[in-house]
Structure 1
Amino acid sequence: MTTATISPATRTSPRSRVVKNVLRRPSAATAAGFLVVLVLFAVAGPLISPHDPDAQDLGNRFAELSGTHLLGTDEFGRDVASRIIQASRIALVAPLISVGVALLIGLPFGLWAGLRRGVVDAVAGRLADTVLSLPAMVGALAILAVLGPGLVNAMVAIGIIFAPGLFRVVRGATLAVAEETFVHSAVAIGSPTRRTLWVHILPNIAAPLLVQVTILMGVALLAEASLSFIGLGVQPPDASWGSMLKAAYTNQFDAPYSVVPPGIAMVLTVLAFNTIGDAIRDAVGLRRGI
């Protein structure tokens, strides 16, 4: 009698296979590498910045690209490259705050409404429809009128606007998973609702949830830049790609190319988030044979 051996490929979990399928795509691997570099900039920014991002040199305003100032200087003589690196922290923290608020609101209500339905589903669904019927930025501005300007307040407002859409995604995925046999079996043996939601349903809706989260990360970055552009997001002297775009717009005749560095940084970051989201969607479809 021979003993069958299990190959390493057989022992890998479904999540590991999804990750491998994502990273196997050159575009997704490049996007992941870019985000890793962005995280390094955000964490080690003070150590790798060539200059103090807040140090002003009014005698060296709008300096051109050089060995001293790799991307030139702004209207206050501050080093643009250093401010781009400093703003990378905002580019990661701001989406995390807004998406975190959206998950805190939309995830538990979506899970409960998809499994138990009833009053929670009816009330939460109508509230979601009401918020989704409003223009997103108008709703965010209305919330900011109550909370006041600032990065955290702006991202909380954006997170509240994101919550109904996330609720809809989670509810729809939960409705599909709730009809599976293993969920009915868990309910039949007396599994508490909380355990059914977090142990049996949540891991099986992780794929569409991750896709939605990556998309919202990119949208949140654009929303933060928009609010900072009009002065309701990051406040001076902190650097944000949105506030840098505002300064470039104001000084477009003195430094016509100053819009390029923050613009490229923002485009690449949003593209990286969206590319990873598309790769996750395709990898999950490949695993399921879709």
Structure 2
Amino acid sequence: MTTATRRSRPLNVISVIVRRPASAVAVGFVLLLVFLAVAGPLVSPHDPEVQDLGNRFAGLSSTHLLGTDEFGRDVTSRIIQAARIAVTAPLISVGVALLIGLPLGLWAGLRRGVVDAVAGRLADTILSLPALVGALAIVAVLGPGLVNAMLAVGIIFAPGLFRVVRGATLAVAEETFVESAVAIGSSTRRTLWVHILPNIAAPLLVQVTILMGVALLAEASLSFIGLGVQPPDASWGSMLKAAYTNQFDSPFSVVPSGVAMVLTVLAFNTIGDSIRDAVGLRRRT
């Protein structure tokens, strides 16, 4: 296989994903979310933290496109502000899971031995616990806040990611090209990162995109009960909590943050499914 062929594979997968309407829309939505996270203060129609108690629970209008909350703050501006949390929270938790689960899974799948046995038992132990309960226990030790909450979620995600990486590595490690690399004296590090990791990228990317959506739901759950993002910062989870508390005063207030969360999770899942289908199509051809 030539170098040009290896380099063209990711480009072919990307082209297949972009050509599909559903995945193209999902990618566009995620890019819009990233843009709002970066440029939120520039595009927000109002300051998301400025209160106007005389204008509480205002309806939809040209001044407040999505109305106002219980403190008279513009809901549109707070939705845009919360986009930063919707991007950074999954990145923190999935990044922590990758730092823990990826190297352990690669090593356990290739070398097995003591690392595989110990890491496997630890993974089984953590996976046996309800995910949210485990995250709550870790947050209780670390304290509330976005970073601590996402660190806890990342630790909970790590065993599942470890299992996916280990299983894929076990399959790839039996291939002839890996045995040839070991036979000619390639170090374990080179074998893992050069020969195995690129060949398990597809299931890894699918798992990562799915975990991004799950991480967003986990952050919203922790913020809903007051252990995630702390006031006055906006989070879709904390906005849902406020909407739930004031549902009789403003029944519509649950819709903006709820719809934003559903669309974001759906976009991440759609991208993951598209990557899986594109890689499967590439292999058949």
TM-score range, shorter chain: over 0.9
Distance apart, 1:185 and its partner CA: 0.8
Match of 2:142 in 1: 147
Match of 1:164 in 2: 159
**CA RMSD, aligned part only?**
1.2
Match of 1:261 in 2: 256
Q: How does 1:98-109 map to 2 (within 5 A)?
A: 98-109=93-104
Cα shift readout 1:61-119 (whole Å, capped 9, x = no counterpart)? 00111111110000000000000000000000000000000000000000000000000
Match of 1:192 in 2: 187
Match of 2:222 in 1: 227
The answer to whether structure 1 residue 246 and structure 2 residue 241 are counterparts is yes
- The one-letter amino acid of 1:110's match is G
Residues 177 and 10 of structure 1, relative CA distance in 2, 3 Å threshold: closer
The answer to whether structure 1 residue 287 and structure 2 residue 279 are counterparts is no
Equivalent of residue 86 in structure 2, options 81, 87, 91: 91
The answer to whether structure 1 residue 55 and structure 2 residue 55 are counterparts is no
Higher helix share: 2
Q: Equivalents in 2 of 1:145, 1:54: separation in Å?
A: 28
Distance apart, 1:240 and its partner CA: 0.1
What's the TM-score once normalised by structure 2's chain length? 0.97
Equivalent of residue 31 in structure 1, options 26, 40, 52: 26
Of stretches 10-19 and 54-63 in structure 1, the one that deviates more from structure 2 is: 10-19
Q: Equivalents in 2 of 1:149, 1:19: separation in Å?
A: 39
Distance apart, 1:12 and its partner CA: 6.6
Match of 1:174 in 2: 169
Q: Equivalents in 2 of 1:55, 1:10: separation in Å?
A: 55
Q: Which runs of 5+ in 1 are unaligned?
A: 1-8
Q: Equivalents in 2 of 1:171, 1:142: separation in Å?
A: 27
Distance apart, 1:11 and its partner CA: 9.3
- The one-letter amino acid of 1:200's match is H
Distance apart, 1:10 and its partner CA: 7.4
Q: Equivalents in 2 of 1:93, 1:11: separation in Å?
A: 31
What's the TM-score once normalised by structure 1's chain length? 0.96
The answer to whether structure 1 residue 112 and structure 2 residue 116 are counterparts is no
Runs of 4+ with >4 A deviation: 9-12
Distance apart, 1:22 and its partner CA: 1.0
Q: Equivalents in 2 of 1:95, 1:11: separation in Å?
A: 30
Q: Equivalents in 2 of 1:41, 1:27: separation in Å?
A: 21
The answer to whether structure 1 residue 274 and structure 2 residue 269 are counterparts is yes
Q: Which runs of 5+ in 2 are unaligned?
A: none
